Structure 1
């Protein structure tokens, strides 16, 4: 007699309830922020604010931070995060190197993330890499986790700003140290060859991570399937790393087209800190860095006129809205002493290092390499070495070496 067994009922996923109050506040601030920036500056600036918000959503839902990806590679020998990073930079480079080479699109100047190649970058990037492993996030990671409600990352951000201001005071000295001028791979090799060399370099990094992973684990970790079978994961997350990386690449291209320069994070931190210092009576306007024409104008103008700042504001609010929609907005006030000290030290190192090296994981690494700046590659190498030492120091502060944030 045959026996027919009933199919097991599908496993029901828990219902996600949005955090309504944080969502209402974040949404209202996004709408009001866009209206205020558009009114005070112009529609282009308002558009950059919204691009920043979209970047915050992608960063949050993809948990796309360079810090955790690098740490997983060093500690666990899993390179999925680093491969997603290389893919995002490569996709952006295919569009951005030609745009920068064109010099002008529709009357809008196109400027790459170019910077000198020298001791300042080498030292600053190493400091940044070490600091991000102690602070718990890179430039973009700090902002999107603050948006998600992390009190620890708020501490990191405060000292990130302090370190960035200190960096502006000392940058003229570091610029006097041995250095080559900014080198554009696109200008030196031509657009086609520059793209090929850039993609090849990124592919070699990705291949090395895959070979190491295969040797240690016998397999390559693949992107997991979405947790939810419906399309709700787009709003509630988590997003696949590759998908989040591709969104970031497209938004970086959009930033270049609209702002005339690629995505950057940390310049805004130094500007905010300088304005705060000025407000309490510190004469930062007399510092050499802030006497340079562009910096002097930024210091005298409204912070809403600074494209980097408005994108940073949008990023925090976008991440907050994404966290609230996913029901994950959870401020945490408890902060052990070791973790607090690590956040302080990490923030100071990242702020100072970012100023010396002309950017962070976004402005120097992502946007630098994607626009063909040689300094972006030097930044990558030096920051990874610094990150390695930062990972080794995490247990000193009572931090879990395997933690993703």
Structure 2
């Protein structure tokens, strides 16, 4: 689709949201478009940044991600402290579920060549594997949420929010200090001769930080991705009569029951996900922006799709992906984000080797 008719469709959908849903959801759609455009335009891949650090000793992608986290935290943490009843942090309980989920997710995202946001924007750009992964990602996310209570019974403690525990100043200093430590570790891992910064990625980091903060302010909650996937499949399963949410500990929660019963356009995560797809599709509409994908073998398709399912399942166990757990978790002062990162990186060390074995 060319850009002009695509822009017309996006504008019409925006008007539809304003008229029939709400102004807030329409604004969140625009924020999602911005996210998708930046992710696709800057090729801001969280998965790729980690893989380049591991395989090529190139820290530029990871340093750009840390810059994004620092900028988002510098604004989000004071906002959370100033408006505690209006804004919520992305909190998740430290648990066995978190440890296992983050590790598996880190491995699977390298094989599937995309995390939650990466799968979205690459599907929007028409990458065949990511387009095929998207529905199985949704299936995995739904099943992971449906079984989450069983995983939490293995061991979990209450979520820890740094803002509530230490106040905004100490929470921000702890967050920035932790990010600085990770940055130094990435540079030391890479060596003195490595290129530290990539201008396009740094610009992308600034824009994504601004959009993440806008999402927090408009939605009242941090940027998320995987909940929307699980909700989409949960709606299908419920309508099909193969799933009764009232009997499930996760989906029987009032907010989740309400999301299942109302229009998907009312869900803040779903509407930004739709925006990300639209924004990436708009970028892909430029003829020079997309290159033909390398054909995959049957084995590569199977391995990639299995990895996509594991992405969805493990992301629910880990209370988010690179966006929900890392970006939103750390930038809003959640302890679980700091547990997620090292476990996911350990998983990525395995994942890049699996990816290399199957010659992706």
TM-score category (smaller protein)? over 0.9
**Matched residue, 2:183:** 206
TM-score (norm 1): 0.85
Q: Is 1:221 aligned to 2:195, yes or no?
A: yes
Tell me if structure 2 keeps the 8 A contact 1:26–1:318: no
Instruction: Measure how far apart 1:102 and its partner are.
Output: 2.0
Q: Is 1:143 aligned to 2:141, yes or no?
A: no
Aligned counterpart for 1:56 among listed residues 36, 40, 47: 36
Using the alignment, how far apart are the partners of 2:12 and 2:309 within structure 1? 32
**Matched residue, 1:197:** 174
Aligned counterpart for 2:289 among listed residues 318, 325, 328: 328
Instruction: Measure how far apart 1:281 and its partner are.
Output: 2.6
Unpaired stretches in structure 1, ≥5 consecutive residues: 1-20, 226-239, 400-405
Using the alignment, how far apart are the partners of 1:179 and 1:142 within structure 2? 29
Using the alignment, how far apart are the partners of 2:160 and 2:342 within structure 1? 17
Aligned counterpart for 1:170 among listed residues 137, 147, 161: 147
**Matched residue, 1:130:** 107
Tell me if structure 1 keeps the 8 A contact 2:99–2:318: yes
The 5-angstrom pairing of residues 382-401 of structure 1 reads: 382-399=343-360
Partner of 1:78: helix, strand, or coil?
A: coil
**Matched residue, 2:49:** 69
**RMSD over aligned Cα atoms:** 1.6
Instruction: Measure how far apart 1:333 and its partner are.
Output: 9.2
Structure with higher Rg: it is: 1
Tell me if structure 2 keeps the 8 A contact 1:78–1:221: yes
CA deviation profile, 1:143-181 (whole Å, cap 9, x unmatched): 111111111101111211111111122111112221121
Distance 1:375 1:222, change over 3 A: closer
Tell me if structure 2 keeps the 8 A contact 1:58–1:247: yes
TM-score (norm 2): 0.95
**Matched residue, 1:24:** 4
Instruction: Measure how far apart 1:289 and its partner are.
Output: 1.6
Q: How many residues align?
A: 359
The 5-angstrom pairing of residues 350-369 of structure 1 reads: 350-369=311-330
Instruction: Measure how far apart 1:394 and its partner are.
Output: 1.1
The 5-angstrom pairing of residues 7-46 of structure 1 reads: 21-46=1-26
Tell me if structure 2 keeps the 8 A contact 1:320–1:329: no
CA deviation profile, 1:353-403 (whole Å, cap 9, x unmatched): 11111111001100000000000000111111111111111133232xxxx
Unpaired stretches in structure 2, ≥5 consecutive residues: none
**Matched residue, 1:102:** 82
Higher helix share: 2
